[in-house]
Amino acid sequence: MRAYDQSGLTQAGFARSEGIKYPTFASWVKARRNGAASAAAVNKPAGRVRFEEMPMPVLYGRAASDALSVTMSGGLVVCGSDVGLVAALVKALNA
């Protein structure tokens, strides 16, 4: 919204330049003008959201709070306590 305010473009022109559907962008502007919509209402998910509890594993005798866990598409969970090593593994698996 800040970029739109500074652009000097019309709503339609700004939406087009950013690749946003005009009706969607216009609804954001209207919601901001009315002050009635929260960010959650403006950006609500497309479908039903399902939450699952995921227990954190104990790694190398460390508490779960010390562990880093990355859930990849397909459900694979990569865990570790070294951010660099976990990042490298995630990158290698995505290659």
Query: pLDDT per residue over 67-81, tens digit each?
Result: 677 888 777 877 777
How far out from the chain centre does Cα 40 lie?
A: 12
Comparing 8-17, 21-30, 59-68, which segment has the lowest mean pLDDT?
A: 59-68
Range of the domain at 24: 2-42
Domain count, the chain: 2
Decide if 14 is inside a domain. yes
Query: pLDDT per residue over 41-76, tens digit each?
Result: 555 555 666 667 666 655 555 555 556 778 887 778
Decide if 47 is inside a domain. no
pTM of the predicted protein model: 0.37
Residue 85 has pLDDT above 60, yes or no: yes
In degrees and rounded to multiples of 5, residue 75 shows phi and psi of 95, -5
